[in-house]
Structure 1
């Protein structure tokens, strides 16, 4: 079976807070947005995103969240003010469920998870 990507709204994520590492932010965001206590694995994707109207440039990190068992899946709780639903999605399903940028990032994360490397993107497109 092909790998699946967990999609919640756009996917669990958020901003790094002051004096917080990206890794600690992932742990916090998973707890806040999904109600899960997970120790993320290795870094899968680094994606530099250029500035857009109303937003500064940013660097996005995607970590390996591992494989969730039934107990963890059943424990997912979404904050209604932030997320309305979640779904397991194949890469093909993610292509039509997500914005083009997020779909490219999700595909790169699956590629990195199965290939064993880390992928560097700029605006969702692979650089190296």
Structure 2
């Protein structure tokens, strides 16, 4: 088997990237898609050959009409398969959004119907449970990047005695 055949035979996972954008009052920018219920972070699918950061910036440009300044990775979350949807690797990048940028937001009407700045305590009322869990874990980390599985910290087994 050639290297090309071997790599073609390996399982694949989907990727998504989103932006956690906070304003000067530490409110979270959420957007409301037209094609599904609930409020989400701006972002979307990582296209073939695209890096997670490039996808996040592209999606922000497409969804908000602007490219935010991002500070770095806030979270990597493994989303398990659900029904016909494969597992998804979700990258969340953090940044700030100014009042001037917020005033310039232009939503694509066929994709997003609204946006709003949401205080942290109101996120569970608006976002689907998996998004609310993810955001709660990210915001509780105080700027430290977090690894999650389905929006929660996985239980990492303790090393066995005698292992490095």
TM-score using structure 1 length: 0.90
Question: What is the match of residue 27 of structure 2?
Answer: 4
1:84 lines up with 2:108 in the alignment: no
Question: What is the match of residue 43 of structure 1?
Answer: 73
Question: What is the match of residue 109 of structure 1?
Answer: 138
Structure 2, unmatched stretches of 5+, are 1-23, 33-39, 156-164
1:57 lines up with 2:57 in the alignment: no
Aligned mate of 1:99, from 128, 141, 148: 128
Question: What is the match of residue 9 of structure 2?
Answer: none
RCO higher in structure (CA 8 A, sep ≥6) = 1
- Kept in 2, the 8 Å contact 1:102–1:124? The answer is yes
Residue 136 of structure 2 aligns to a residue whose secondary structure is helix
- Kept in 2, the 8 Å contact 1:62–1:109? The answer is no
Q: How many angstroms apart in 2 are the aligned matches of 1:11 and 1:64?
A: 11
Q: How many angstroms apart in 2 are the aligned matches of 1:69 and 1:116?
A: 18
Structure 1, unmatched stretches of 5+, are none
Superposed displacement of residue 2, structure 1: 6.3
The list of structure 1 runs, each at least 4 consecutive aligned residues, that deviate by more than 3 angstroms after superposition, is: none
Superposed displacement of residue 70, structure 1: 1.8
Q: How many angstroms apart in 2 are the aligned matches of 1:33 and 1:111?
A: 27
Q: How many angstroms apart in 2 are the aligned matches of 1:127 and 1:44?
A: 16
Aligned residue-pair number? 125
Mapping of residues 3-22 of structure 1, within 5 Å: 3-9=26-32, 10-22=40-52
- Kept in 2, the 8 Å contact 1:7–1:87? The answer is yes
1:2/1:109 CA distance change after superposition, 3 Å: farther
Q: CA RMSD in A?
A: 1.6
* Higher alpha-carbon Rg: 2
1 or 2, which has the higher strand percentage? 2
Residue 67 of structure 2 aligns to a residue whose secondary structure is coil
1 or 2, which has the higher helix percentage? 1
